[in-house]
Amino acid sequence: MISSPPLDPYGPARRGTVATELALVLPVLVLSVLVCCDFSRVMQHRTVVANAARAAAQQGAMKQFTDYTYADWERRVRACAEEELNCLGTVDPGQALIVPSSYTDDAGYRCVAVDVELPFETVISWGAIPRTIPIYYRAEFRQFR
User: What residues pair up with 99 in beta bridges, in sequence order?
Assistant: 115
Torsion of CA 79, 83, 89, 93, to 10 degrees: -20
Torsion of CA 75, 63, 66, 48, to 10 degrees: 40
Instruction: Report the pLDDT value the prediction gives residue 13, as an integer from 0 to 100.
Output: 58
Instruction: Report the pLDDT value the prediction gives residue 141, as an integer from 0 to 100.
Output: 92
Q: Are 117 and 45 in contact (CB under 8 A)?
A: no
| Weakly modelled stretches of the chain, pLDDT under 70 | 1-15, 145
Instruction: Report the pLDDT value the prediction gives residue 139, as an integer from 0 to 100.
Output: 95
Burial 28-63 (b: 16+ CB within 10 A, else e): eeeeeeeeeebeebeeebeebbbbbbbbbbbbbbee
Instruction: Report the pLDDT value the prediction gives residue 15, as an integer from 0 to 100.
Output: 64
